[in-house]
Structure 1
Amino acid sequence: MADAATGRNGPPVPPDWAELGRLLSRGYIDSGFIGGVTRVPVADVVRDMLSEARADEQIDEIRRAAAAAGLDAGTARILEVGSGCGMTVVRGRVAHGLDIHGIEPSMGEYSSTLDVCRRLIDHYDLPVNAVRDATGEAIPFADASFDIVYSSNVLEHVGNPGAVLDEALRVLKPGGLLLIVVPNYGSWWEGHYGILWLPGMPAWLAKRYVRLFGRDPAYVDTLNLIDRRWFDRWLSRHRGVEVLGWGWEVFERRLRTLDFGEWAALSVAKRIVTLVHRSGLLRPAVWLARRLHWETPIIFAARKHRSD
């Protein structure tokens, strides 16, 4: 790392988190996301976005999924689709020594995120193209360039989620791992609004529903309401993809142990699950959740077997 990041003959010099937080705060407030969609205070949203611990959790998620697929994340070439403010890429490179790259579009929901990402990359003296300005529908890498393609809480926001997965598959090597974390709109939870959800609710009804909570219904139009059936339709066009998992085991463990982070509005979700425990309904809830595919989020893990 450069002197700017390490300090000269001293301990590492952290980025100016306060300034980065102010940049993100303006973006979230100006977009109307704070108040109109979420009731989580902007300071908490920004803290989570810039959390090294949260980035480490995501990297651990990549490592576990890679190991289950017979890959070593430590030697793999990894692409993150939708890097946001770049914490996973930066933390992966600086603290974990991963060969991880990212893409994030400049014309996104919050334009300040790529600006923060650039500042972090500069601070740690990383290659300027560690995170490229690009969309998931047009990934700027050659075919079969990566061992792992990862995306977390991005697919619900893109213009064409099917095209994004098509592109992810294109740049993935045969035998490579596709790991997609996305909210399950076939479940009972919506994390952006931080409210209970009706599984499979169409957008027109969802807008009326969120209005009951005093939230901005226009935000629903920015979301792709993805569920297991959506993935099944996408998979029907890609016979060279082997599904390794949907995240059920992670979801069940979290339900039973309450061992999950409280990022963003998840503290509300944890209180709801705690009430399920206390009511004695955990066992039937788990039984129903498994059969009706209520796992949330969906953690879609798949292996590419051949050129698709």
Structure 2
Amino acid sequence: MPEAAAGQEGRTLPPDRETPDWEELGRLLSRGYIDSGFIGGVTRVPVEDVVRDMLSEARADEQVAELRRTAAAAGVDADKARILEVGSGCGMTVLRGRTAHGLDIHGIEPSMGEYSSTLDVCRRLIDHYGLPADAVQDATGEAIPFPDASFDIVYSSNVLEHVGDPAAVLDEALRVLKPGGLLLVVVPNYGSWWEGHYGILWLPRMPAGLAKLYVRLFGRDPSYVDTLNLIDRPWFDRWLGRHPGRLEVLDWGWSVFEQRLRTLGFGDWAALSVAKRIVTFVHRSGLLEPAIWLARRLHWETPIIFAARKR
């Protein structure tokens, strides 16, 4: 059952509604993850933990807080903005954003995504919370079903690596963004030392063929590599080159990454507990400052937190 977030704003549920049947929703998600081979073949995180994280109100609240913080730094008031989340999964960020934080936030999630059960769970939660049926629409990021200049913020977290055409998704995000609006994309950095789906150390900028051999050494399913877009800083630079003068890049996520390295201030969601143990070892071995020095120069920040203002 999802934990309640400490100090959450507003209320979790409309006053006339009972708590959702989290156990039934969890079973539905579990079947999707197990049937897909993700549990065991890719991650060694127990399915119960994966499902708990997917349905976690606390995790959704963390994402809302990060969205607000980044938007404020860019001069955009998230509380007054119209927001689109590209890739809503089970819809928890949209649900919490609306019911607990008062945000005007909308989402899209495809019905034929990596785990089709996520949109089913999302629809059940939307109905349970009494939200409009179109709060999260069945759509892909390559074909966002909104007019040009519809949103003040377009947000996506840990989705771009899974889509069919990541450049087309960002093109669409730019299209529906208003001038002066904020594009905020969180995505794993395959120019770094960490791969969060497998929960293993990674070799920066490793090509897919070598990556498949590498994950075999850990006894993991190499075919999952073929489903990932291996995105890094140079990839974003190439995409930006297709839109000269249209975006002002505000941040790549370095300050957040450095703060997390120095303070171990990141959650234990999914395989991040393994990452935290690795960073703890770096602290204890006295290698923190050299690691930060190298990471800054070689762009090892992970995830990439790409923030840009549309001109």
Q: Could you tell me the TM-score, scaled by structure 2's length?
A: 0.95
The DSSP-based 3-state class of the residue aligned with 1:129 is helix
Counterpart for residue 106 of structure 1? 111
| C-alpha separation in 2, matches of 1:106 and 1:47 | 21
Is 1:183 equivalent to 2:194 in the alignment?
no
Q: 1:275 aligns with which of 266, 269, 281?
A: 281
Runs of 5+ unmatched residues, structure 1: none
The DSSP-based 3-state class of the residue aligned with 2:67 is helix
Which amino acid in 1 is paired with 2:114?
Answer: E
Counterpart for residue 235 of structure 1? 240
> Kindly, what percent of the aligned residue pairs are identical?
85
Counterpart for residue 222 of structure 1? 227
Which amino acid in 1 is paired with 2:289?
Answer: R
Count of residue pairs brought into register by the alignment: 298
Which string of whole-angstrom CA distances, capped at 9 and with x for unpartnered residues, describes residues 153-203 of structure 1? 000000000000000000000000000000000000000000000000000
Counterpart for residue 303 of structure 1? 309
- CA drift at 1:6: 3.5
The DSSP-based 3-state class of the residue aligned with 1:20 is helix
Which amino acid in 1 is paired with 2:301?
Answer: E
Runs of 5+ unmatched residues, structure 2: 1-12
| C-alpha separation in 1, matches of 2:302 and 2:62 | 17
Q: Could you tell me the TM-score, scaled by structure 1's length?
A: 0.96
Counterpart for residue 174 of structure 2? 169
The DSSP-based 3-state class of the residue aligned with 1:102 is strand
Alignment of 1:1-308 (within 5 A): 5-8=13-16, 13-239=18-244, 240-305=246-311
Which amino acid in 2 is paired with 1:175?
Answer: G
Which amino acid in 1 is paired with 2:62?
Answer: E
The DSSP-based 3-state class of the residue aligned with 2:248 is strand
Q: Tell me which stretches of 4 or more aligned residues in structure 1 moved more than 6 Å.
A: none
Please give the root-mean-square deviation of Cα atoms over the aligned residues, in Å.
Answer: 0.7
- CA drift at 1:136: 0.2
- CA drift at 1:220: 0.1
| C-alpha separation in 2, matches of 1:144 and 1:168 | 10
- CA drift at 1:238: 1.0
